[in-house]
Structure 1
Amino acid sequence: MKILSIQSAVAYGHVGNSAAVFPLQRIGVEVLPVYTVNFSNHTGYGAWRGPLISPSDVSDVITGIEERGAFPDIDVILSGYQGGEGIADVILDAVARVKAVNPDAIYACDPVMGNAKSGCFVAPAIPVLLRERVVPAADLITPNQFELGFLTDTDPGDLESTLASADAARAMGPSTVLVTSVERPDRPEGTIEMLAVTDAGAWIVRTPKIPMKANGSGDVTAALFTAHFRETGDAASALAKTTSSVFDLLQTTFDAGARELQLIESQETYAHPRMQFEVTQVR
């Protein structure tokens, strides 16, 4: 499998492509990483150095990949955080060009906008752009519960309303929705869930909620679920593997008392997930 991953990159720590690429490689995926920024560290530190890469430069890199004849072999285009409005045009153009030579390729979009605790943390134009242009072009999206609500102008809370919101998102274009960080009011205290919805059904998985903020964990989740689902077409299996791997990555990071994901130290959890959580079909 080959994935063209258009995301940010940092030298210190693990977010964007700096979080997604290694776990994908560890499960045997060939990744073609294209960077949208090249920062010293993620912006959560309040200070960072390095350039935003202009949309024209990002496009040039993608064109160079195309000129090497790689597009027919690309199975997935993956995108995450979009720092500026111009990057969306570059991504959508790349999706169209790859699909023109490989109609079986899919576009997986992590529509990063914010979360329930912090609200939106992207430029005001980005959520509208994602909702109106980017998500409708995607085959698979991986929003958290807050982002799902914004995309669909709904208020997902309990299982029924979250399923309805996922269906509303699927009506926009993508056939598959992975809802990360589902926090139902009736869930057991100290737990969190993920929900996958496809044409074939819907599945949910519950894990303990590890009490930490982990920048980049959503990027790892989107990457692993996309790869597992693309390989097998089995949402339940992809959900189980992804949940197992990401939970153990977070647990290792928490146990180490680290601020940055212990991405390398956790590599066996990607290659050999323990499958310790039960996935339940809910539709």
Structure 2
Amino acid sequence: MRILSIQSSVSYGHVGNSAAVFPLQRIGVDVMPIYTVMFSNHTGYGSWRGPMMSGDDVREIVVGIGERGGLSDVDAVLSGYQGGDSIGDAILDAVARVKEANPDAIYACDPVLGNARSGCHVSPEVQNLIRDRVVPRADLITPNQFELGFLTGTSPDTLDSTLAAVDLVRAAGPSTVLVTSVDRPDRPDDAIEMLAVTDAGAWLIETPRIPFKVNGSGDVTAALFTAHFGRSSDGADALERTTASVFALLERTFAAGSRELQLVEAQEAYAHPDMRFSAQRVR
């Protein structure tokens, strides 16, 4: 399997491609990373150094890959945070080029907009870009529950309302949806869930809630789910494998007291996940 991953890159820590590439490689995926920024560290630290790439920079790299014949066997284009129209347009152009070379390729988008705790933390330009132009072009999306609500103009807080919101966003384009950070009133306070919905059904999985937040975990989740689902087309299996790997990564990071993901230290959890959690069919 080969994935063209268009995301940010940092030298210190693990977010964007710096979080997604190694776990994918560890499970045998050939990744071609294209960087949208090349920063010293993620912006959560409040200060950082390094350049942003332009949409034209991204296009030039994609054209160069195409000139080598490197787009014809791409199985998926993966994108995360999009800083504005320039990068968004370049990603959509890359998707079009890949699908022209390989009509079976999919576009997997993590529609990074915000979270329930802090609300929407991207500009109105990016909000409109993701909701109106990017998500309708995607085949697979991985929003958290807050982002799902933003995309659909709803407030999902129960399983039924979350499934209804997924139906709305699937009607707009993407056939496969992974909802992360699912919270609902009838769930134990010490647990957290993810929901996967495909043409074949819907599955919910629950893990213990680890009491911290670390940047980059969503990027790993989106990457692994894209790869596992791309290989098997089995939503339940992809959900279980992704959950096992990401939970082990977070568990190890929390035990280390680290602000940054223990991405390399947890590598066995990607290749040989401990399948502790079972997905339950809910539709």
Q: TM over 0.5, yes or no?
A: yes
Look up the match of 1:115: 115
1:226 has 2:233 as partner: no
Q: Structure 1 CA distance, aligned partners of 2:116 and 2:250?
A: 20
Q: Structure 1 CA distance, aligned partners of 2:215 and 2:18?
A: 11
Q: Structure 2 CA distance, aligned partners of 1:5 and 1:123?
A: 23
Q: Structure 2 CA distance, aligned partners of 1:258 and 1:20?
A: 18
Aligned runs of 1:1-283 on 2, under 5 Å?
1-283=1-283
Q: Structure 1 CA distance, aligned partners of 2:190 and 2:106?
A: 35
Q: Structure 2 CA distance, aligned partners of 1:84 and 1:160?
A: 33
Q: Structure 2 CA distance, aligned partners of 1:62 and 1:96?
A: 11
Deviation string 1:78-103 (CA, Å, 9 cap, x unpaired) is 00001122111001111111111211
SS in structure 2 opposite 1:276?
coil
**RMSD (Å), alpha carbons:** 0.6
Residue identity matched to 2:245: S
Q: Structure 2 CA distance, aligned partners of 1:254 and 1:234?
A: 30
Where do 5+ consecutive residues of structure 2 fail to align? none
Deviation string 1:214-233 (CA, Å, 9 cap, x unpaired) is 10000000000000000000
SS in structure 1 opposite 2:22?
helix
Residue identity matched to 2:213: K
Q: Structure 2 CA distance, aligned partners of 1:192 and 1:60?
A: 41
Contact 2:180 2:193 in 1 (8 A): yes
SS in structure 2 opposite 1:73?
coil
Q: Structure 2 CA distance, aligned partners of 1:57 and 1:279?
A: 41
Q: Tell me the percent identity.
A: 70
**Runs of 4+ in structure 1 displaced over 3 angstroms?**
none
Q: Structure 2 CA distance, aligned partners of 1:199 and 1:155?
A: 23
Q: Structure 2 CA distance, aligned partners of 1:92 and 1:151?
A: 18
Q: Structure 2 CA distance, aligned partners of 1:63 and 1:149?
A: 36
Q: Structure 2 CA distance, aligned partners of 1:139 and 1:55?
A: 22
Q: TM-score, normalised by structure 2?
A: 0.99
Residue identity matched to 1:24: L
SS in structure 2 opposite 1:57?
helix
SS in structure 2 opposite 1:91?
helix
Q: Structure 1 CA distance, aligned partners of 2:20 and 2:217?
A: 9
Where do 5+ consecutive residues of structure 1 fail to align? none
Deviation string 1:155-182 (CA, Å, 9 cap, x unpaired) is 1110000000001010000000000000
Which range moves more in the overlay, 59-68 or 1-10? Answer: 59-68
